[in-house]
A and B are shown apart, each in its own frame.
Chain A
Amino acid sequence: METQVYRQTVTVKAPQGLHIRPCTMVAQQAMKFQSRVRLSKPGTQADAKSILELMTLGAVHGTELVLEVEGTDAAEAVQHLAVLFESDFGTAPVAPQSSPAAAPV
């Protein structure tokens, strides 16, 4: 299967920022996929499968992060993770097609 790379910007909606619980949810989701998943902001990059690394982002409410996924299941992974951010980690409803579908880069 062909390796694909997807990149999409996601926003931290949680009022308390990307604290441990959302970091754990992101890592748990990311670990379901074979693809390499990274989240970054200027100056800091984190392996999204590591809670510890996600915590180093110190992403407060409103922070825009670049989600980059590379691998054979990247399309599915990027969609799952984007929905997780869009739904504020399962606390907010997600309108259908509210986030533009990511295209491979």
Chain B
Amino acid sequence: MKLCDFVVADAIVPDLQAGTKEQAIRAMVASLKAAGSVKAEDEDGIVSAILKREELGSTGIGNGVAVPHTKHASVDKLVATVALAREGVDFASLDGEPVFILFLLVSPPDRPGDHLRGLENISRHLRNQSFCKFLRQSKTKAAVIDLLREADNNEIP
């Protein structure tokens, strides 16, 4: 599984304006809707489900990264988007630090394996400091996509 297989290029948010966790999640789901990856009528339900999941424990996993997610019948395959928050968002992360890189995932309810493979893939790249640095420097959708493609091809040192 590669990043470009499930990250929706049109839904990338290279300059996320969000003061809170909820605003960040809403903006990212809205972007998936605008890209046609989730149905308009499911938008609020997906946001609620993701916020409910956050109540169980923050998906701010440290290193300035958050991975909010949910399962939802709106999708028949794993879809995700990336957002970059220049100012950082308070995500109640385990390490107490704000998050700058967000990967939001929506996966079909009956395919937990896809969700796990998506997480494995994202985390493998995020543990590479160069990838995180270049990602935070990306200013446009195209720059983010180029970087994801390079990561998929193992071209990042």
User: Given A28-B94, A50-B62, A20 and B120 touching (CB < 8 A)?
Assistant: no
Residues in B neighbouring A18, C-beta threshold 8 A: 116
* A57 and B115 alpha carbons, distance in the complex (Å): 13
Q: Do A52 and B63 touch (CB < 8 A)?
A: yes
Q: Does B126 interact with chain A (Cβ within 8 Å)?
A: yes
Looking at A15, A56, A57, the one whose CB has the most chain B CB atoms below 10 A away is A56
A21 proximity list for chain B (CB < 8 A): 56-57
Tell me the residues in window 42-81 of chain A with beta carbons closer than 8 Å to chain B beta carbons. Answer: 50-53, 55-60
B81 at the interface (CB under 8 A from A): no
Verify if B117 is at the interface (C-beta below 8 Å from A): yes
Q: Which residues of B does A touch, CB under 8 Å?
A: 56-57, 59, 61-63, 65, 67, 69, 94, 112-113, 115-117, 119-120, 122-124, 126-127
Q: Which residues in window 15-36 of A have CB below 8 A to B?
A: 15-21, 23-24, 27-28
12 A-B pairs besides A50-B62, A51-B94, A52-B126 with CB distance below 8 A are: A15-B112, A17-B113, A19-B112, A20-B57, A21-B57, A24-B94, A52-B65, A55-B61, A55-B122, A56-B123, A56-B124, A60-B116
| B120 in contact with A52 (CB, 8 Å) | no
Please give the distance in Å from B143's CB to the nearest CB on chain A: 23
- Contact status B115-A51, CB under 8 Å: no
Give the A-B contact count at a CB cut-off of 8 A: 57
Q: Which residue of B lies closest to A24 (CB)?
A: B57
The contact sample of 13 A-B pairs, CB cut-off 8 A, is A17-B116, A18-B116, A19-B112, A20-B67, A20-B119, A21-B57, A50-B62, A51-B61, A55-B120, A56-B124, A58-B116, A58-B117, A58-B119
Residue of A15, A16, A52 with most chain B CB atoms under a 10 A cut-off = A52
What's the nearest-Cβ distance from chain A to residue B138, in Å?
20
Q: Which of A17, A51, A57 contacts B62 (CB 8 A)?
A: A51
| CA A57 to CA B65, docked complex, whole Å | 18
A53 to B123, Cβ gap below 8 A?
Answer: yes
Task: Let me know if B123 and A27 touch, CB within 8 A.
Answer: no
Nearest-neighbor residue (CB-CB) of A47 within chain B: B127
Q: Check A57–B120 contact: CB distance below 8 A.
A: yes
Inter-subunit contact A19/B119 (CB<8 Å): yes
Give 1 or 0 for each of A69-105: 1 = CB within 8 Å of chain B CB. 0000000000000000000000000000000000000
CB-CB under 8 A from B57, the residues of chain A are 20-21, 24
Q: CA separation between A18 and B116, bound complex, in Å?
A: 8
